[in-house]
Amino acid sequence: TVRALDSITSEGELRRRAIHVLLTNWTGTYTVPSRTLYPHQWSWDSAFIAVGTARWSPRRARTELLTLFGGQWIDGRVPHIVFNPAVPPDAYFPGPEFWGARAPSGARTSGIVQPPVHAMAAWRVHLAEPDRAFLRRLYPWLAAQHRYLREARRMSGTDLVSIVHPWESGMDNSPAWDGPLAAVPAPPIGERRRDLAHIVAAERPTDRDYERYIELARAYRDGGYTGATAFVVEDPMFNAVYGAAEADLARIAAVCGADPTPHLRRAEEITQALLDRLWDEENGIFHARDVVTGELLPADSVSGLVPLILPGLPADVADRLIATAVDRFGLGDHLLPSYPPGGPAFELSRYWRGPSWINTAWLVLQGLRSRDPDLAAKLTAGMMEAVATAGFREYFDPITSEGHGCRDFSWSAALLLDVLV
């Protein structure tokens, strides 16, 4: 009983601290991912933040999502950054001047997207406190977000959507992108990086990576934010989230009195296309496909486990994915790394090349809960242990839980609140 009491007390303490981080990062209309490193509104961050915020203030969670969609473009895209006009333009690079884009609302934004977790988030916000008026308002915007992906991003002509920049994957310097990025020219960018004012270089992407990120973004911008870039990739996590979000859009449509069937059909089509195009039967994991060369990209990444969230994933595929997560990613022994510790590109503390992140753990958890409750419980315990040991850091050493990246990182706090319930 003493043990049980200890763990209850520490869960209460974790919850209190998580809410404190979210309060500190709240601006009045949305939550910054980090006051120092990321002082604007980020697209998929806001979706994760809404999921956790709904656990203590559903009203704020609704505002978070509605504010983000205030940056939506006419074509339906939800930009990966909506810039805060009150923040000095040089606080983050590349800032509003570089992107040179405005939403119809007047908000200055970037021109690329991030994984469409938003319908998943909106559904969870509604479950925390049912609010049909909120869903009715958001549904057409979510539907437009998905229409943009379907119409502008099915670049292989299949049911999968492509990303045209590593930032769109949310896993910027994943080893999966090393091959396609090697082909991108990299003119020097000078001293413009701002991230290195806050975080040691060894925990961030390299200058070579940044040169390519900027070159790809410049080329896409100069093409009017349409068409392809030199980097066109079908990513398993992006597409799995897109499929799972269609399944949640069906639920949202039903509450709004709209027809859920097109969403359900699309969720099935996306699941099938993932199986046809990205499932690597030999290695028991989903791999990204380079749409420029047509080749599957060989690096394993946690992205390749996220299709577990698809409700229609066949049981034998799910079983193999879980086995891969246990055998190669150490799921059950420690927090889920972004890249397998035994792999040739593994780095303990460099961003998306090994460290564990709370958001990808949370996504995998959504798929594990019904399929393997024991492993799901271990993963939840791993998430709690990481933040109890290191605080709400941006990412963690997968073995020791040592914290890396920025402190008081919003989605680490928000998603912890969600799993503490």
Would the CA dihedral through 402, 407, 408, 412 be positive or negative? Answer: negative
Least distance in angstroms from the C-beta of 33 to ligand 9WN? 4
Residue among 44, 210, 286, 395 that touches ligand 9WN (CB under 6 A): 44
Residue among 26, 38, 69, 238 that touches ligand 9WN (CB under 6 A): 38
Is 396 a binder of ligand 9WN (CB under 6 A)? no
- Helix 43-53 crosses helix 58-69 at what angle (to 10 degrees)? 160
Least distance in angstroms from the C-beta of 228 to ligand 9WN? 20
Is 45 a binder of ligand 9WN (CB under 6 A)? yes
Nearer of residues 44 and 139 to ligand 9WN, judged by Cβ:
44
Over the window 74 to 93, marking each residue x when it contacts ligand 9WN by CB under 6 A and - when it does not, the resulting string is ------x-------------
- # of chain residues touching ligand 9WN (CB under 6 A): 10
For the chain, how many helices (H) and strands (E)? Answer: 15, 10
CA torsion 221-65-369-308 (nearest 10°) is -20
**How far apart are alpha carbons 83 and 105 in whole angstroms?**
12
Which stretch, 10-18, 41-49, 184-192, 302-310, contacts ligand 9WN (CB under 6 A)? 41-49
Q: Kindly state the DSSP code that residue 337 receives in the 8-state scheme.
A: B
Over the window 164 to 183, marking each residue x when it contacts ligand 9WN by CB under 6 A and - when it does not, the resulting string is ---x--x-x-----------
Which stretch, 40-48, 234-242, 301-309, 341-349, contacts ligand 9WN (CB under 6 A)? 40-48
Least distance in angstroms from the C-beta of 166 to ligand 9WN? 9
Which H or E element spans position 207? helix 207-222
Q: Rule CB under 6 A: which of 91-130 touch ligand 9WN?
A: none
Is 392 a binder of ligand 9WN (CB under 6 A)? no
Catalytic residues: 172, 394
Q: β-pairing, 233-234 with 41-42?
A: unpaired
Q: Give burial (CB, 10 Å; 0-12/13-18/19+) of 131.
A: middle
Q: How far is CA 210 from CA 196, 206, 282, 290, 291, in A?
A: 12, 6, 34, 20, 22
Least distance in angstroms from the C-beta of 311 to ligand 9WN? 25
Least distance in angstroms from the C-beta of 173 to ligand 9WN? 8
SS3 of 250-302: the string is HHHHHHCCCCCHHHHHHHHHHHHHHHHHHEECCCCEECCEECCCCCECCCCCH
Q: 92: which 2 tokens?
A: 């983050």
3-state secondary structure at position 226:
coil
Is 52 a binder of ligand 9WN (CB under 6 A)? no
CA 106 from centre of chain: 26
Residue among 18, 26, 30, 33 that touches ligand 9WN (CB under 6 A): 33
Residue among 26, 30, 42, 69 that touches ligand 9WN (CB under 6 A): 42
- Residues of this chain that interact with ligand 9WN (CB under 6 A) are 33, 38, 42, 44-45, 80, 167, 170, 172, 195
